[in-house]
Structure 1
Amino acid sequence: MIRYFYTEHHVTTETESIKNGTWIELTDPTEEEARKIASKLKIDIADVMAAIDPEEKNRIELQEGYTLILVDIPALEVRHGQRSYTTIPLGILLTQDEIVTVCSEVTPILAQFERDQVRDFSTKKKLRFVYQILLRTSIVYQKALQLIDRRRSEIEGRIDKVESEEDLIRLHELETTLVYFATSLRGNGNVLDRLTRYKRLQQFPEDRELLDDVIVENKQAIEMTAIYRDITDSTRELLSNVMDARLNNVMKRLTSITLILAIPTMISGMYGMNVDGRWMPLAGAVHGFGIIILITIVVCILLILLLHKKKML
C-alpha cells in the first residue's frame, strides 16, 4: 500500500501525488509498488524492499542521490497462542526532496504522524522527521518494556499457586522478547551514532537537541532491557525452584506412603507362605489373627509418626 502525505501551512494531509517535500509511506508493498517508487525517485529497488526482509540488519548506507536508514521497531506477533512482542525492520529513504518509509506492517509509530498529532512535524524537514520517528520508536520500546515487566510481575504474584509449566513457558517468551529488544536497541544505537556525523541534509538548530534526546531515550531503553532481563531471569529461576521443591515434596510423600503400605504387605506375605505353622508366631493362638492385625496397625502408626517427625508426610 502506498500513501502520500504533505505538510503545508503547518498542517499535514494526505495527497494523491508526489511533489517536493512529500512523505511517501509504503506498508507491505508489492514488488510493483516498490518498483514504481524506485523508478520515480531513482532509488535501487533492493533498498526499497530491504525493510520487508525480517533478517535485515540496522544500518545507514549513503548511496548516490539518497540515503538508506534501517532501524528495528517493536511489533506484536502470536507465539504459543499468546500475543508477544518482537522486532521488525523499518526502512527510511532520504532523497534530496522526499522521504520514504517502508515497513512490512502497519505500525503505531507512524500512526501519529499520519494523523498530524506530533508537535513541530513537517514532511519538508526530513532529517527532523527521521529523529522524530526514532524518538517515537524509543518511547514505544520503553512502553513495551513496562508492559513486559507488568506481565512478569503478574506471574510472580501467583507463584505460590502455579500448578503447571505454563507460566514457565510465558517467562521464557518474555526473556526471548527481551533478547530481541536488546539486540535491536544496540543496533539502533549504532545508527544514532552515525547520524551524529550525518552532514548530507540540512539540520535545523533544534534538530541537534532532538537527536540528543533520541540518544538519551535509546540508552534508557537499553538499560531498562538489561534490568528487566536480569529480573525476569531471577523470576524464572525462582519459579523453577518452586516447582522442583513441590515435585520433591510429592516424591517424599509417595515414598512415605510406599513404606507404610509395605508393612502390612510384608506381614501378610509372610503368613501367606506354605510353611509349617509351628514356625510362624501366633499361628496357633486363638486370637492370633486379631493380634497380628493389631501389631500391624501399631507398627504403621509408629512409622507414620516417625515420618511426620522427619517432615516426610
Structure 2
Amino acid sequence: MLEFYKTYGSITKKIDEPESGSWINVVAPNEEEKNFLIEKIGVLPEFIKSSLDAEESSHIDYDEDYNQRLVIIDYPSAEEENAQGYDKNMLQYTTLPLGIIIMKGYVVTISLYENLNIDDMRQGRVKGINTNLKTRFLLLLLLRISQRYLIYLRQIDRISSRTEQTLHKSMQNKELIQMLGLEKSLVYFSTSLKTDEITLNKIMRGKIIKLYDEDQDLLEDVLIEIHQAIEMCNIYSNILSGTMDAFASVISNNLNIVMKVLTVITIVMAIPNIIFSFYGMNVTGLPIAHWWFPTLVAVIACIIATIIFIKKDMFH
C-alpha cells in the first residue's frame, strides 16, 4: 500500500501524487511500489530493505551522498491469538520495526503491517502535524509510539490482575499459559524500549538529524515517556515473575491437597476390604463367623478411622 499525505494549514489531507513537503506512507509494498520509491522518489534500496526486515532492531542510519536519514524504531503491537487452544481471546503483544526516512522534499514511513500509530497520524488524532516539518513529524510519531507502549503496559497489568483472580482456585495450566504470554510480551517490550532509548539519545545529540529549538521540548517529552515505559515494564515484569512463581506453588499445593484427600478416602475404603478378606479365607476357627459380625466390625472401624482423620484435619 502506498499513500501520500500533505498538510494544508492545520489539516493533513490525502493527495493523489507525491509533492514536495509531503508524507509518503508505505505498508507492505510490492515490487512495483518498491521500484516507485527507488526510481521516482529516490529512496535508497538498502533503507527500504532495512525497514521491511522484521528482525531489524532500532537504530539510525544515514547517507551523506544522498542526504537521507533512516530511523528504525520498534513500536508495540497487539493481536488476538489462540494460544494453543487455551484462550481464543488472549492478546499477544510483540514489537515490530517501523522505518522513517527523512530526505529532501519528503518524509517516508515504511512498515510491514498497518499499525495504530500511523493510523493516528493520518486520521488527525495527533495535534501539531506538519509534513513540511520533517523533524517535528518524526518526533510526534515517536511520541505517539512511546504513548502506545504505556497504553499496552496498562492493558497487560489489567489482564494479569484478572488472571490472578482465577488462579486462586485454578488447578489447570490455562491461566499460567496466559501469564507466560504476558511475561514474554514484557520481555519484548523491555528489549525494544532499551534500543529505542539508545536511538533517541542519538537523535538528541543533533549530529545526524538536525534539531530545532522548538523541537527540544518535544524530544524531552518523548524521552520522558520512554523512560516511564521502561520503568513500568521492569516493575510489571518483576511482579508478574513473582506472581507466576507464587501461583505455580499454589496450584501444586492444591493438587497435593486433592491427592491427600483421595489417599485418606482410599485408606478408609480399604478397611472393610481387609476385614472381609480375613472372613473370606477358606479356614476354620474364625470368631463369630456370621455375615453381620465382619460387617459391623468394618462399619465401626471405618467410623473410627474417619473420626481420627477429621480430627487431624486430613479432609482439607
Shorter chain as normaliser: what TM range? over 0.9
What is the distance in 2 between the residues matched to 1:8 and 1:250?
A: 70
What TM-score results when the alignment is normalised by the length of structure 1? 0.93
**Structure-2 residue corresponding to 1:129:** 137
**Structure-1 residue corresponding to 2:14:** 14
How many residue pairs align between the two structures? 307
**Structure-2 residue corresponding to 1:256:** 264
What TM-score results when the alignment is normalised by the length of structure 2? 0.92
Q: Please tell me whether the aligned partners of residues 94 and 189 of structure 2 are also in contact (alpha carbons under 8 angstroms).
A: yes
* CA 21–257 in structure 1, closer or farther in 2 if over 3 Å, else same: same
Task: Give the letter aligned to residue 72 of structure 1.
Answer: D
What is the distance in 2 between the residues matched to 1:123 and 1:296?
A: 90
Q: Please tell me whether the aligned partners of residues 68 and 94 of structure 1 are also in contact (alpha carbons under 8 angstroms).
A: yes
Q: Please tell me whether the aligned partners of residues 22 and 98 of structure 1 are also in contact (alpha carbons under 8 angstroms).
A: yes
**Structure-2 residue corresponding to 1:309:** 311
Task: Give the letter aligned to residue 15 of structure 1.
Answer: I
What is the distance in 1 between the residues matched to 2:298 and 2:208?
A: 94
Look up the SS of the partner of 2:239 in the other structure. helix
What is the distance in 2 between the residues matched to 1:156 and 1:166?
A: 12
Higher mean C-alpha displacement, 74-83 vs 184-193: 74-83
Q: Are positions 1:186 and 2:197 aligned together?
A: no
What is the distance in 1 between the residues matched to 2:220 and 2:200?
A: 9
- Structure 1 residue runs without a partner (length 5+): none
Distance apart, 1:236 and its partner CA = 1.7
What is the distance in 2 between the residues matched to 1:117 and 1:257?
A: 65
What is the distance in 2 between the residues matched to 1:150 and 1:77?
A: 16
- Structure 2 residue runs without a partner (length 5+): none
What is the distance in 2 between the residues matched to 1:259 and 1:201?
A: 78
Q: Please tell me whether the aligned partners of residues 34 and 49 of structure 1 are also in contact (alpha carbons under 8 angstroms).
A: no
Distance apart, 1:35 and its partner CA = 2.0
What is the distance in 1 between the residues matched to 2:125 and 2:211?
A: 22
1:135-185 Cα offsets, whole Å, 9 max, x none, are 100101000010111111111223333242211111111111111111111
**Structure-2 residue corresponding to 1:157:** 165
Correspondent of 2:288 among 268, 282, 291: 282
**Structure-1 residue corresponding to 2:71:** 69
Distance apart, 1:201 and its partner CA = 4.6
What is the distance in 2 between the residues matched to 1:61 and 1:241?
A: 48
Give runs of aligned pairs for residues 37-186 of structure 1, distance below 5 A.
37-64=37-64, 65-79=67-81, 80=83, 81=88, 82-186=90-194
**Structure-2 residue corresponding to 1:273:** 281
Q: Please tell me whether the aligned partners of residues 59 and 70 of structure 1 are also in contact (alpha carbons under 8 angstroms).
A: yes
Task: Give the letter aligned to residue 258 of structure 2.
Answer: V
**Structure-1 residue corresponding to 2:249:** 241
Higher mean C-alpha displacement, 61-70 vs 72-81: 72-81
Task: Give the letter aligned to residue 288 of structure 2.
Answer: L
* Identity of matched residues, %: 34
Look up the SS of the partner of 1:296 in the other structure. helix
Cα root mean square deviation, aligned = 1.6
Task: Give the letter aligned to residue 292 of structure 2.
Answer: G
Q: Please tell me whether the aligned partners of residues 131 and 137 of structure 2 are also in contact (alpha carbons under 8 angstroms).
A: yes
Task: Give the letter aligned to residue 209 of structure 1.
Answer: D
From the CA coordinates, give the structure whose radius of gyration is larger: 1
Distance apart, 1:214 and its partner CA = 0.5
